[in-house]
Amino acid sequence: MPSGSASPGPASRRGRGGPRRRENVAGYVFLSPWLLGLLGITAIPMLLSLYLSFTNYDALSDFSSVEWVGLDNYRTMFTADPSYWHAVRVTVTFALVAVPLKLAAALGVALLLNRAFRGVGLFRGLFYLPSLLGGSVALAIVWVNMFNRDGAFNSLLSVFGIEGAPWVNDPRWALETLMALAIWQFGAPMVIFLAGLKQIPVELYEAASVDGANAWRQFRAVTLPMLSPVIFFNLVLETINGFQGFTAAFVLSNGTGGPVDSTLMYTLNLYIKGFTELQMGYASAMAWVFLVAIALITVVLFSTGRFWVHYSDGEDR
């Protein structure tokens, strides 16, 4: 468990026999497809990439011809590669701004769309539309045309007498354009919020209503706590997504991270190193450092979760 909470270990349950044992077996029965997938499909490539991170692997040769370079890749990353730290800064900035705003947009729209009214399904679909585009080629062209010097956004600004920048082509603003794109595609967390809202038993609102709670109090006392596992899920996943943030950066900058590295996200940098410059060993090292860093962030999120996430099973994860 990432939180490292001192819950009773499995050992303490051992030998209680009967139902415990049955549950233990059942646990592994239900887990077996996943375990098979983990051991057969997920784990081997992951461990290989861990191994390659200690080598000079070049993405062309087969694995047997690689040379072991020890910690060289890690050393280079931390001490001799300025683009590495630059990409870290870009990524952290991006995640700190884009993740909260995206979640806020998703929750806000989900709350507005939670009530049943005529055409609500269509509305949901329309709000989801931008996310359907994923990271397609078309999207890149659209976004560049919204946010270049004579794009639609500047036309909008000029209505208010503001002269805009060439956003997407300006190193000072390109990252903000990327954030706007990420926030625009808020469909996934929105749907998860909607599903979570639907799961809240109506009786709770009825009870609160009988107690004379107004809309805001109902939101605070019923919606937020009942939704907290889902909020937590979205927070964790969007944080991970935000830090990974590859597609938008790749698509918008034509895979370069430009202008002048202003949108060089961590994973984009990793991709360029691995595939374009054929230093897959180095890229693998970058990936594992990323994993450790995000794992730490996730652990922190999980440990704060104890204070605000409410589970009906009473266990805190």
Nearest distance in Å: CB 284, other proteins:
5
Q: According to CB under 8 A, which one of 72, 74, 101, 130 is a site residue for other proteins?
A: 130
Range in contact with other proteins (rule: CB under 8 A) among 87-95, 96-104, 137-145: 137-145
- Segment 145 to 184, residues that bind other proteins, using CB under 8 A: 145-146, 148-152, 166, 169-171, 184
Q: Considering the complex, state which of residue 96 and residue 125 has its C-beta at the smaller distance from other proteins.
A: 125
Q: Using CA atoms, how far apart are residues 1 and 213, in angstroms rounded to an integer?
A: 38
Q: Using CA atoms, how far apart are residues 112 and 78, in angstroms rounded to an integer?
A: 46
Among candidates 250, 235, 237, which has minimal Cα distance to 139? 250
Q: Are 197 and 111 in contact (CB under 8 A)?
A: yes
Which spans in 72-186 are helix H? Answer: 72-75, 82-112, 120-132, 137-146, 152-159, 174-184
Q: Using CA atoms, how far apart are residues 193 and 234, in angstroms rounded to an integer?
A: 8
Contacts of 171 (CB under 8 A, 6+ apart): 258, 259, 260, 261, 262
Range in contact with other proteins (rule: CB under 8 A) among 87-95, 96-104, 191-199: 191-199
Nearest distance in Å: CB 161, other proteins:
20
Q: Whole-angstrom distance between the N-terminal and C-terminal Cα of the chain?
A: 8
Range in contact with other proteins (rule: CB under 8 A) among 87-95, 96-104, 106-114: 106-114
Q: According to CB under 8 A, which one of 78, 96, 125, 220 is a site residue for other proteins?
A: 125
Does 133 bind other proteins (CB under 8 A)? Our answer is yes
Q: According to CB under 8 A, which one of 75, 260, 304, 308 is a site residue for other proteins?
A: 260
- Segment 84 to 103, residues that bind other proteins, using CB under 8 A: none
Tokens 């005529």 -> residue: 118
- Segment 31 to 70, residues that bind other proteins, using CB under 8 A: 31-38, 40-42, 44-52, 58-68
- Segment 194 to 253, residues that bind other proteins, using CB under 8 A: 194-196, 198-204, 226, 229-230, 232-233, 236-237, 240, 244, 246, 253
